[in-house]
Amino acid sequence: MRKCSACGAEISADDKYCSDCGADLSEPDAINFDVDSSRILNGLREMDEIEFEHFVADLWQKLGWETEVTQASADAGIDVVAEKEKPYPQKQLIQAKRYSEGNTVSSSDVQQYSALKQQKDGVDASVIVTTSSFSRDAEKRGRELNVKLVDGNQLLDIIDDLDAYGLLEEYLDLSEEETEEAEEALETVETRDNVAEQVSPSESTTEPTTAVSEKTSRSHTQVEKEVGLPDTKWRKGVMAATGGWIVVLFGLSVLPDALGGFLVLFSWILLPIALYKDAAEVKQYTDWPKYRWAYILPSLVWIIAVVPGLIYLWKRRNLEPSVSADLSVETTLEGSESGDSGQDQEEAPVVEDSVDTEPDSGFQINSLEYKGNRFHYQYSDSPTGRWRAAYGRSHDTDDRFFLFGGDNIRVTEPLENVGTLDGKAAVSNNGVAAVIDNLDQEELSGKLYVFDSSGEQLLGHFLNANVEACTVSEDGRYAAAATLNPDCSTYIFDVERGEQVLKHENLDGNKTDIEFRSDDDGLHLYLFENRDEDPLYAIDLEGEVIWKSEELQRQERLQQLMESSRTDDLEEALDLLEEAYELAEEENEQKNVARKLADTHWSLAQNTEYDTDEWWQHLNQAKAYYTEILPWYDGKQGVAKVSRKQGKYHIDQGNEETALELFRSIAKLEEEYDVQLLTEADERRLKELSGEKVE
């Protein structure tokens, strides 16, 4: 049922005006920021990178800036240049990072982007805009280097403050109608043909349960169904326009001029529009197409327009496979084994578990029907596989937590906001389950609940931060939760006593997953930077770090070396930086160390006797490291100043040809990167060495 955006009254699909307040319903409903903020943020995270850069540029225009999106810029890292003249001239260089929720921007990223200001003249600020968040160290580094940081929540605030939902809808399809269509598409895999008859209300007054076979831990009906992407009107538009181009290419010579002209105009206008609209709907179900502009732009060139249309339709067709869907449809009511006794009799759920298409499509459905509402859920199994903790969302009612055990649904509890990512629930071998209620993400709040297998709440702990992950020990004795910035900590709880054991401030930013593991030395909690990677480090129940991965040790040693290199003893600094250079693995790490090495060699050359082997060695090393960090501004200036120093030396020695080549290399660098590097004295020397008349 639709609701009036003005007064909230229920309205039918055919109503043109609200019967309660008289509002015109022909206008599209505004996006409800409080309700849809997580959906907006998820949509931004699913944009392709180029679209996100354009979105940021358009958003900054609404803030009063003139913006330009850089295309394949030689200045690495600049995505958007923003300028305005009032109340005084200002220029910002913006880096747009379209990241997933758990992929935080690190301090080393901020360190690199701080150099953006030096890559253009007259720049007042560097800005990093991300759909995720910044590590604590990154926020600290941003303050130190005066880099403005805008995380996902702040980005949502800007959109809300500017009321920029019209702009948002140009990039994202967030209409209620499309959401309902998406849910209808998901339900194409449903079947209820073999639902067992439910026990009458007189036979049980407890929570409904789901029967599970001994062999597979669920009873299943194998159903062969066509799980396809929705056949939208825009797909038909792509087909019609592509067909029109085929007729034009092969039959234009025999068609009447009027009909041929109409077909050309019709196909030329319709194809790019239909491609854009259909791709937007397809991306609700798959991660294809990653770059929709790769199809749209060629479709504007009439000679080759038929090619992207045919390729698009062929690839889209391959995303519509048949699947064997294991649908759990047998239900029973076994009051003696279900939790939450004393509750009213409720409708038995229909569970549909892990319905997948072929892996390439990225399309996965986990769903169940409960009390007439469909929940799309994610889950975590106990180590033995006996228990399953599931957390799901429904379009029409509250989010809900389910605990499956043995043959039954043992526990179900309503929640405010379970989120949409992995890691929000966990269950032990004895059925003790933890689940995160994210509450209001805009208020930076979350709550960790722990239930036993009968549904009794063992723990309910409020956390003043968004909660990323939770876990329980195999025996159910301990539970843990990891929070995001600004708290950025991990909490361990004693479930039996119902109290917090410790708070551990995470090393190196947010952690996306946590896991209890036992060994001969006892129970330890392992923390992960990314779910798909190995753990970063582990702590014991006292909060002491008892193990560090090689990667964390490398990062810490690198940071230690960089900090220690800030010494007045240049020779010592050089030794430390050379060790750091060997440790650096990522490109940004290597360039940051190379810049320090270049500056140190330059300083040593300044303090070394002129025209000695040592002097030349430091100059050449400085030039090599400055060249390595091109196209950073420090690299351009560094190469230029070393070449200038060497050129002046050769002028003094009478080696005019060598000097000329060195000053020409500065001019070439200036031309290549479109930046001022030659001084007036350099230009005068160039003319003199080239035999030109100097005025």
- Tell me the H-state helices in 491-568: 550-564
| 502 and 418 share one domain | yes
In a domain, residue 527? The reply is yes
Residues 345 and 275 in one domain: no
pLDDT score, position 13: 54
With a pLDDT cut of 70, the percent of the chain lying above it is 74
pLDDT higher at 60 or 182? 60
Dist. CA 270–CA 267, nearest whole Å: 5
CATH (domain of 74)? 3.40.1350.10
Query: Does residue 193 sit in the same domain as residue 267?
Result: no
In terms of domains, do 407 and 464 share one?
yes
Residues 329 and 316 grouped into a single domain? no
Place of tokens 């992207």: 308
pLDDT level of residue 569 (50, 70, 90 thresholds): very high
Is 13 a member of any domain?
no
Q: Is residue 6 part of a domain?
A: no
- Does residue 670 share a domain with residue 629? yes
Q: How many CB atoms lie within 10 A of CB 214?
A: 7
Among 182-196, 286-300, 432-446, name the one with the lowest average pLDDT. 182-196
pLDDT at position 160, please? 80
With respect to residue 175, please indicate whether it lies within any of the assigned structural domains: no
For the chain, how far is it from start to end, CA to CA, in angstroms? 82
Q: Which domain holds residue 625?
A: 567-690
Please state whether the peptide bond connecting residue 89 to the residue before it is cis, i.e. omega within 30 degrees of 0. no
Q: Residue 279 pLDDT more than 60? A: yes
Residues 400 and 486 both lie in one domain: yes
Answer yes or no: is 143 within a domain: yes
Which range has the worst mean pLDDT, 103-112, 327-336, 462-471, 613-622?
Answer: 327-336
Residues 275 and 327 reside in one and the same domain? no
Confidence band, pLDDT 50/70/90 cuts, at residue 290? low
Q: Edge-to-edge, what's the strand order for the sheet holding 489-494?
A: 467-472, 478-483, 489-494, 499-505
Q: Which two tokens stand for residue 587?
A: 């490109």
Average pLDDT over residues 195-217: 32
Is the domain of 259 the same as that of 211? no
What CATH number did the domain enclosing 340 receive? 2.130.10
Domain boundary pick from 548, 578, 608: 548
Is 289 or 357 the better-scoring residue by pLDDT? 289
* Together in a domain, 411 and 535: yes
**Would you state the pLDDT for residue 231?**
66
pLDDT at 337 over 90: no
For the question of whether the overall pTM of this predicted structure is more than 0.85, the answer is no
Average pLDDT, the chain: 77
Shared-domain flag, residues 247 and 336: no
pLDDT of residue 663: 94
For residue 651, the SS3 value is: helix
Confidence bin at 694 (pLDDT 50/70/90): low
Better pLDDT: 602 or 289 = 602
Residue 7 is assigned to a structural domain of this protein: no
Going from the C-alpha of 325 to that of each of 321, 351, 356, 358, the distances in angstroms are 12, 12, 7, 12
Q: Which pLDDT band holds residue 423 (cuts at 50, 70, 90)? A: low
| Predicted confidence (pLDDT) per residue in 136-152, tens digit | 778 888 877 878 899 98
Report helix, strand or coil for 614. Answer: helix
Torsion of CA 175, 177, 180, 186, to 10 degrees: -80
pLDDT at 278: 83
Number of domains in the chain: 4
The answer to whether residue 296 sits within a structural domain is yes
Residue 224 has pLDDT above 50, yes or no: no
Assess if residue 330 is contained within a domain: yes
**293, 320, 347 — which closes off a domain?**
320
Residue 301 shares a structural domain with residue 338: no
Last residue of a domain, one of 320, 346, 368: 320
CATH number at residue 669: 1.25.40
For residue 489, the model assigns a pLDDT of: 95
Give the model's pLDDT for residue 359. Answer: 29
Asked if 109 and 115 touch (Cβ cutoff 8 Å), the reply is no
